[in-house]
Amino acid sequence: MYYHVNGDLVPAAEAAISVADRGFKYGDAAFETLRAYGGTPLAWDAHHERLVRTAETLGFADAVPEDLRKRVGRTLAENDLEDAYVRVSVTRGVQPGKLTPDPDVDPGVVVLVKELPRGGQEGTRVWDEPATVQTVRTRKAASDAIPADAKTHNYLNGLLGRIELRRSAGGGTPADECLLRDHADHVVEGATSNLFFVSDDGLRTPSADLDLLPGITRDIVLELANEEDFPVETGRYGVDAVRNADEAFLTNSTWEIRPIATIDGIDVGGGPMTTLLQRLFDDYVERTHY
């Protein structure tokens, strides 16, 4: 396997960045994870836009290289990958050793890829089973401390939610995803996924006004639902609304649309709306990539 690091394709085992890179020292880096289907990244423009927006929040939007998509394409080609997981990171690079950043940025740019057989019409999902979900004590960081809409290498908040799942499972099987709430007890998102549920025949998802990262897959699902004239509501919900839902599912680039089996041990499950959205999503991928 070859990765793309700072302009060069290098064997994965040798792909490394300086220990003085701020992406390593402080998590001072923007990133995106996405999927390539049939050799083409899904929703590249949306991912690229969000990456630039994250870099803007960090103050180095200008350092995002213009040929980023080419680097992704070259990495996929070098590895003969058509269907793949892709992770793109842009760091603030190596700077003198103080926390206050220098405006002059020579970024670190990393593209990681991994084979990921396609889901959808002709393939199999990444996940074996619908997700078990558990609410955790870890709360979503408020955006005035850590901006929720910036996707950075500071991933401790979600990571602690996942660690909590393992700890609370004792020796048993931890839940697949944690459900994070904000300090006002609204459900916001999972550690790596957005939440949807179906109640009163309407599709619902926490509003992007809350402290969450509005996923690209979330956007696609909302768009597909709108195209079908499904009733859609974005709002503020407590965990009870989700536990009592008729259906619920999670979205992210790798899972696509993954039904929720249980929340805090309470059966929820997928259903007709979830299945239909999965088919619409698969059609969308098929139509745009194969």
The yes or no reply on residue 9 touching a second copy (CB under 8 A) is no
- Please choose, out of 12-20, 44-52, 61-69, 256-264, the segment that lies near a second copy by the rule CB under 8 A: 12-20
Q: How far apart are CA 35 and CA 117, in angstroms?
A: 10
Interface of this chain with a second copy, residues 217 to 276, rule: CB under 8 A: none
**Tokens linked to 175:** 């839940």
Residue number, 18 or 199, with CB nearest to a second copy: 18
- Sheet strands side by side (includes 29-37): 8-11, 2-5, 108-115, 84-91, 29-37, 40-41
* 290 in Cβ contact with 37 (< 8 Å): yes
Q: Does 28 bind a second copy (CB under 8 A)?
A: yes
139 is a contact residue toward a second copy (CB under 8 A): yes
Which is nearer to a second copy, 3 or 284 (by Cβ)?
3
- The binder of a second copy chosen from 99, 173, 209, 287 (CB under 8 A): 99
Residue 35 binds a second copy (CB under 8 A): no
Is position 192 an interface residue for a second copy (rule: CB under 8 A)? Answer: yes
Instruction: Answer whether 93's CB lies under 8 Å from 231's CB.
Output: no
Please list, in sequence order, all residues whose beta carbon lies within 8 angstroms of the beta carbon of residue 9, skipping any fewer than 6 positions away: 2, 3, 74, 75, 78
Q: What is the largest CA-CA distance in the chain?
A: 57
CA distance 35 to 255: 10
| Least separation in angstroms between CB 8 and a second copy | 12
Residues numbered 54-83 forming contacts with a second copy, rule: CB under 8 A: 58-59
Question: Nearer Cβ to a second copy, position 70 or 137?
Answer: 137
Q: Which of 7, 117, 122, 183 binds a second copy (CB under 8 A)?
A: 183
CB of 218 to a second copy, least distance (A): 18
CA angle in degrees (0–180, nearest 5) for 232-237-240: 115
Number of residues that bind a second copy (CB under 8 A): 58
Other C-beta atoms closer than 10 Å to the C-beta of 204 total 21
The Cα–Cα gap between 33 and 85 comes to 7
Question: For a second copy, which residue of 40, 79, 132, 157 counts as binding (CB under 8 A)?
Answer: 157
Q: Does 34 bind a second copy (CB under 8 A)?
A: no
Of 48, 71, 140, 218, which one interacts with a second copy (CB under 8 A)?
Answer: 140
Exactly one of 9, 26, 276, 290 binds a second copy (CB under 8 A); which one?
26
CB atoms within 10 A of CB 104: 9
84 binds a second copy (CB under 8 A): no
Q: Binding of a second copy at residue 27 (CB under 8 A)? A: yes
Q: Is 100 in the site for a second copy (CB under 8 A)?
A: yes
Task: Match 């959808």 to its residue by tokens.
Answer: 120
The DSSP output letter for 176 is: S
Neighbours of 65 (CB within 10 A): 13
The verdict on 90 binding a second copy (CB under 8 A) reads no
Which residues make Cβ contacts (< 8 Å) with residue 43, sequence separation at least 6?
Answer: 34, 216, 220
**Interface residue list for a second copy (CB under 8 A):** 3, 5, 12, 15-21, 23-28, 31, 58-59, 85, 87, 89, 97, 99-101, 103, 110, 112, 114, 137-142, 144-147, 152-160, 162-163, 165-167, 174, 183, 191-192
